[in-house]
A and B are shown apart, each in its own frame.
Chain A
Amino acid sequence: MSRLNYLLVALLSTVTLGACTTAQPDHCAVNLRGNLGTAMNTAETKLASGCEYHFNSYFNSLLTIAEANPDTDNKMLFSDHLMRVNDMGVISRRQAEGLYNRYFNIKFVSLQGDYNTCSQTCPVRSQVMSDMQAELHDKELGLMRASADAASFYRADTLLKETDLVLEATCRACSAGKTQ
């Protein structure tokens, strides 16, 4: 066998082996589209069959679908979906609540705590306000664009402004108390 033939055989082998390794389809990769309820079912099927680590990308895809098809029922569909995913053990109850409230509730998950405001919130007030601002963007997606619920989004926006005002006054009062 000539040297050229050896090279051809080696090249052919490499190509064949490469084809074997890349031909394996990604079981979890799925292009969610169309009806939101159907897409949720598809996502849940995937999550139940070993694709738990794709939950975030599925959830974002579902939000994109909802945004393209805004409906007041969408927040209910997401609530049900998150509860089913919680029941499947893919995410915890706390995660489910966090996601639902972040996108579909007026209240801010960024403003939570069990200690007094002076000690817990005031030292990190600017960070809390920054987190709430970021959360408002998610509420805009969840409430206004996906659920067609502009009134709730505006209420969340007002709540953010009121919180800013009240925290500014309260934290200034807390600070004045320390210096006295």
Chain B
Amino acid sequence: MLPRKFTTTRPSDLIYAVTLLALLTLGAPGASAGVSGPVVRLFPTTVLEDIRETGQVAEDMENNLQEVITRLDMQEQLYTESLCQGADGDQGCDRIAKQLGATYLEMLDIMSDRLPEMERAVNNTRNSLESRLRQELGQRTTPTTLQNALLGESGSAKEAERPALRGRSGVRLSDRFKQYYNLVSTNREGASKSLAVVASDIYLDMDEAAHLIAATQEEIGRAALMEQLNQSFGMITPEMAAVVGGVKEILFGESMAENAIAAPPYAIGETDFVSPLAM
């Protein structure tokens, strides 16, 4: 389970903020939902519009950062291939390091510009889902009906029809939101058993992402200051590499995480015994 709370005390915490943001925002359902269970309206048009807009904002951020991150990669590769690691006092290496640091600052600037809009979009999605969850699952559902909705009336949904729980997906953030949008826009009037899980999943992700974006914004200023100081000495810090890695992970899904081992498929045979005592 991912950590729910995040506090920032050091400049290097930006790395964790970015990485956690990646972990949290990339968790998503992976398949379409089934069609049984009571109808619960978790995804009205307003929620769908919020999800669509968040995906659009994420795409804009990706487009803005794509070029600078590519440049960072090339500079880092040049630095490594020139055997600059530990080569103190080499003028050529110092120059590459300063260029790399300047590009890094450029990336931080872009993030600093774009994150407020991302924060607003994420907050909107979180708030609208929060309201629907409270009304539909919190106030209009009993524990018994909630369980029935999750299980489906037939209790025989196949594993392949069920959305996966939270986890890394290895896809672009904007594509992830497109998946969210497509998933809920095609099934929003039915399949509440799966959509309850999807809505909960997105809501928890958005809630934590909102906190992490705020924390990241706070840390960007500090990280920028540190890098401006580093520019005086021409250093490449491990933190810089980690932040760049974290941003790439958020936006482009370049994750090294291995996929979890799949659970056995669920299938109930046609001759299943049904007890008169069963709920």
Q: Which residue of chain B lies nearest to A74 when distances are taken between CB atoms in the complex? A: B273
**B137 touching A166, Cβ below 8 Å:** yes
Chain B CB within 10 Å — which of A82, A108, A177 has the most? A177
Q: How distant is B44 from chain A, measured CB to nearest CB, in Å?
A: 15
**A168 touching B267, Cβ below 8 Å:** no
In the bound assembly, the distance between CA atoms of A120 and B207 in angstroms comes to 24
**B263 touching A154, Cβ below 8 Å:** yes
**A79 touching B275, Cβ below 8 Å:** yes
Q: Inside 8 A of B278's CB, which chain A residues have their CB?
A: 100-101, 105, 107
Assuming the contacts A106-B155, A163-B150, asked whether A112 and B200 have C-beta atoms less than 8 A apart, the reply is no
Q: Inside 8 A of B85's CB, which chain A residues have their CB?
A: none
In the bound assembly, the distance between CA atoms of A100 and B279 in angstroms comes to 9
**B142 touching A75, Cβ below 8 Å:** no
Q: How distant is A2 from chain B, measured CB to nearest CB, in Å?
A: 72
Which among B99-107, B127-135, B174-182 touches the partner chain? B127-135
Q: Inside 8 A of B143's CB, which chain A residues have their CB?
A: 111-113, 117, 120-121, 128
In the bound assembly, the distance between CA atoms of A128 and B146 in angstroms comes to 14
CB-based closest 5 A-B pairs: A169-B200, A79-B275, A118-B138, A100-B277, A173-B133
Subset of 21 A-B contacts with CB under 8 Å: A107-B147, A107-B148, A107-B155, A113-B143, A115-B142, A116-B138, A116-B140, A117-B141, A151-B266, A151-B267, A154-B264, A154-B266, A158-B159, A163-B150, A165-B204, A166-B150, A166-B196, A168-B204, A169-B133, A169-B203, A177-B138
